[in-house]
Amino acid sequence: METSVSVFVFCIFIHFLPYVSAKPPHIVFIVADDYGWNDVGFRNPSVLTPNIDKLARSGMILNSSYVMPVCTPSRNSFMTGQYAFKSGLQHIVILPQQATCAPLNNTFLPQKLKELGYATHAIGKWHLGFCKWECTPTYRGFDTFYGYYNGAEDYYNLSIAGGKDFRDNRTPVNATGEYSTILYARRAESIIKDHDASKPMYMYLPFQSVHEPLQVPQKYSDIYSKVHTESRRTYLGMVTAMDEAIGNITKALKTKGMFNDTLIVFTADNGGWITYAGNNYPLRGGKTTVFEGGTRATAFVSGAGIQKSNYVYPGMIHAVDWMPTVLSAAGGTPDPTLDGIDQWDSLQKAGESKRTEFIYNIDDLKPENCGHAAIRMGDYKLIDGYPGAYQDWYKPDQVVSDLYDGYPGAYQDWYKPDQVVSDLYKNVSINHTRPFDDIMMLFNLKDDPNEHVDLSNKHPDIVKKLKSRLEYYHKQIVPANFPSISPSSAPSNYGGFWTPGWC
Catalytic residues, which ones?
Answer: 71, 127
What is the side-by-side strand order in the sheet with 357-362? 357-362, 373-377, 380-384, 440-444
Report residue 163: phi and psi, to 5°. -140, 150
How far is the C-alpha of 99 from the C-alpha of 487, rounded, in Å? 10
Q: Where does residue 393 rank: exposed (0-12), middle (13-18), buried (19+ CB within 10 A)? A: middle
Kind of pairing between the strands at 60-66 and 311-318: parallel
Residue of 60, 66, 81 whose CA lies nearest to 317: 66
Q: Do the beta carbons of residue 351 and residue 345 sit within 8 Å?
A: yes
Q: How does strand 167-168 pair with strand 311-318?
A: unpaired
Q: Is the dihedral of CA 31, 32, 35, 37 positive or negative?
A: negative
The DSSP secondary-structure symbol of 305 reads T
Cis peptide, bond prior to residue 206, ω within 30 of zero: no
> Which bin fits 260, alpha (ψ -120 to 50), beta or left (φ > 0)?
alpha
At 221 the three-state DSSP class reads helix
The whole-angstrom separation of Cα 484 and Cα 26 is 41
Q: What is the dihedral of CA 125, 342, 66, 430, to 10 degrees?
A: -80
Closest C-alpha among 337, 329, 285, 283 to residue 306 = 329
Residue 73: is it exposed, middle or buried by C-beta count within 10 angstroms (0-12/13-18/19+)? buried
User: If DSSP states are collapsed to H, E and C, what string results for 158-175?
Assistant: CEECCEECCEECCEECCC
Q: Are 132 and 503 in contact (CB under 8 A)?
A: yes
Q: What are phi and psi of 274, to 5 degrees?
A: -60, -45
β-bridge mates for residue 65, sequence order: 317
Supply the angle between the helices 322-329 and 71-80 in degrees, to the nearest 10.
Answer: 40
Cβ contacts of 242 within 8 Å, gap of 6 or more: 32, 181, 207, 209, 210
Q: Which of 116, 162, 168, 160 is nearest to 137 (CA)?
A: 168
Residues 227 and 233: beta-carbon distance below 8 Å: yes
